Amino acid sequence: MTADRISLTGLRVRGHHGVFDFERADGQDFVIDVILELDLAPAAASDEVTDTVHYGELAGGLAEVVAGEPVNLIETLAQRLADVCLRDPLVLAATVTVHKPQAPIPHEFADVAVTIRRARP
């Protein structure tokens, strides 16, 4: 496995995910962090964006998922986001964190997050 990584952190997107009706109706902000593991040597040598992951396009694909079809659990959302990351054949593994800072918890808290790592078989 390569030690090279691309990180995209703090992607904030409004979504309608959650188990409660009001979460689905009102929506809330989700914050997404991803770390992609891949070999960046070809891109470093060629200086061509086609030899790496275009993080602007990645951000757009992730945002579409968060703003798209609602799911009950952020675990499910994290898996869908990992699937987006792994669509790019250059990506060997992806670590995805979904933050739900406005989760309906009746206590003061800073954040709720789920992190998953998925790799090619």
| Enclosing H/E stretch for 9 | strand 5-15
- Is residue 105 part of the annotated active site? The answer reads no
- Active-site option among 63, 66, 97, 100: 100
Give the DSSP H or E segment for 97. strand 93-99
Residues 13, 67: contact at Cβ < 8 Å? yes
Strands, sheet with 93-99, edge to edge from the N-terminal-most edge strand: 5-15, 28-37, 93-99, 113-119
Confirm if 58 and 85 have CB atoms less than 8 A apart.
yes
Cα–chain-centroid distance for residue 121? 20
Active-site positions read 100
